[in-house]
């Protein structure tokens, strides 16, 4: 880290909290952020995060054990707050002594933060799309926050990263650990957020095509060809079905999602499903569509989730090289 003295100084709070060399988290990407990529990022000095997504407790148990076999460095686990087996997943994390649990996809349900911290010093990282929610989450026991702007890939909030950073960092960053995410593709952007008080950053899209990522070659090629404007947010069909928008590369799968929402809205109308079930059906649709793209390489009909920084992803590179490049760019910017 002495190679990057200015960056190291500004990242110090973040690296102390995460227990790694570089306060760069890898955003949890379902099917992509599994043992290979997570271990590679942690071994390179960053902080890998397993995407639990729709995994069962048994699958998560296996995934954590397999990741531990590949790295002795700390890594986190990202849990979706609406997962029906959330408390069982928390128990699996506790069994393995996972140091950091990231709660994503909504306000953590009652008792979940307490369950994560029970009988240990596990840290809770939560997502805050607004200043009001950021304050509420910190009061509820979150140890740190990720503020993620709408430029990100996958599930997104309604506000851009630059605006969120200006709203939240001056207000909270002096006393709390805030990581900035969404649309970050180069080290110069990292430098600007660190100077505003961020403890570190989170990137997903830049790591999706790392050499160690198990994503299908065709999935990676779709990234290399894409420009920022092709990563579009999904459309909400029915205001009663509050679907969190998802950013992905425009394709046939994008249209299929619109059709799926209509189908679920009709079931809701008919009283065939309740709101919770309707939202779970949408989540399961995404999990399947994402798997088709990432694992099977069906980039036409699957969901190629990508942030707007996709235009900066030009080739497959080892995770360690991506981190080194970001750190060098950040250091150069801070030294100017």
The lowest-confidence range among 82-91, 244-253, 280-289, 318-327 is 280-289
Q: 1 pLDDT band (50/70/90 cuts)? A: low
Is the pLDDT assigned to residue 241 strictly greater than 80? no
What CATH architecture applies to the domain 5-213+313-335?
Alpha-Beta Barrel (3.20)
And the tokens for 52? 């639990």
Band (pLDDT 50/70/90 cuts) for residue 153 is: very high
Tens of pLDDT, residues 175-220: 999 999 999 999 999 999 999 999 999 999 999 999 999 999 999 9
pLDDT digits (tens, 9 = 90+) for 155-181: 898 899 999 999 999 999 999 999 999
Task: Calculate the alpha carbon distances from 117 to 123, 141, 143, 235, 262 in Å.
Answer: 7, 9, 10, 37, 40
Beta strands in the chain (DSSP E): 24-26, 49-51, 76-80, 100-104, 123-127, 144-148, 154-155, 177-181, 200-203, 231-233, 246-249
Q: In this predicted model, what pLDDT tens digit does every residue of 23-64 receive, in sequence order?
A: 999 999 999 999 999 999 999 999 999 999 989 999 999 999
| Per-residue pLDDT reduced to its tens digit, 290-331 | 999 999 999 999 999 999 999 999 999 999 999 999 999 999
Instruction: Report yes or no: 7 and 335 within 8 Å, Cβ to Cβ.
Output: no
What is the pLDDT confidence band of residue 258, given thresholds at 50, 70 and 90? confident
Rounded CA-CA distance 231/228 in Å is: 6
Q: Are 304 and 154 in contact (CB under 8 A)?
A: no
% of the chain with per-residue pLDDT over 90:
82
Domain span(s) for CATH 3.20.20.70 in the chain? 5-213+313-335
How far apart (Å, rounded) are the C-alpha atoms in residues 264 and 282? 8
pLDDT confidence bin for 268, thresholds 50/70/90: confident
Name the phi and psi angles at 23, rounded to 5.
-80, 55
The residue among 316 and 261 whose pLDDT is bigger is 316
Average pLDDT over residues 74-83: 95
CB 248 within 8 A of CB 305: yes
Look over the chain and give the mean of its residue pLDDT values, rounded to a whole number.
95
Distance CA 210, CA 291 (A): 18
With a pLDDT cut of 70, the percent of the chain lying above it is: 99
């Amino acid at each position: 880290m002495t190679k990057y003295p200015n960056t190291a100084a500004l990242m110090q709070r973040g690296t102390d909290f995460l227990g790694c060399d570089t306060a760069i988290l890898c955003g949890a990407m379902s099917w992509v952020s599994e043992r290979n990529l997570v271990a590679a990022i942690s071994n390179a000095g960053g902080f890998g995060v397993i995407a639990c997504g729709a995994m069962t407790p048994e699958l998560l148990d296996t995934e954590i054990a397999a990741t531990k076999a590949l790295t002795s460095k700390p890594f986190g686990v990202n849990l979706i707050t609406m997962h029906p087996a959330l408390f069982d997943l928390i128990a699996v994390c506790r069994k393995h002594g996972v140091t950091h649990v990231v709660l994503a996809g909504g306000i953590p349900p009652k008792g979940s933060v307490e369950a994560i911290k029970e009988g240990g010093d596990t840290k809770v990282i939560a997502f805050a799309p607004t200043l009001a929610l950021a304050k509420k989450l910190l009061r509820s026991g979150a140890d740190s926050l990720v503020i993620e702007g709408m430029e990100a890939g996958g599930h997104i909030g309604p506000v851009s990263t630059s605006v969120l950073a200006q709203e939240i960092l001056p207000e909270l960053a002096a006393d709390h650990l805030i990581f900035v995410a969404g649309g970050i593709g180069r080290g110069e952007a990292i430098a600007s957020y660190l100077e505003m008080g961020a403890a570190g950053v989170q990137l997903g899209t830049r790591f999706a095509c790392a050499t160690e990522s198990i994503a299908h070659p065709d999935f990676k090629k779709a990234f290399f060809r894409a420009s920022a404007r092709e990563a579009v947010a999904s459309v909400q069909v029915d205001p009663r079905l509050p679907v969190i928008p998802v950013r992905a590369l425009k394709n046939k799968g994008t249209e299929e999602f619109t059709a799926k929402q209509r189908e679920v809205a009709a079931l809701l109308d008919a009283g065939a499903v309740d709101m919770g079930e309707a939202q779970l059906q949408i989540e399961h649709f995404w999990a399947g569509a994402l798997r088709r793209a990432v694992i099977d390489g069906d980039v036409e009909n699957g969901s190629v989730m990508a942030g707007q920084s996709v235009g900066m992803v030009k080739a497959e590179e080892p995770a360690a090289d991506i981190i080194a490049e970001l750190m060098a760019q950040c250091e150069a910017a801070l030294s100017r």
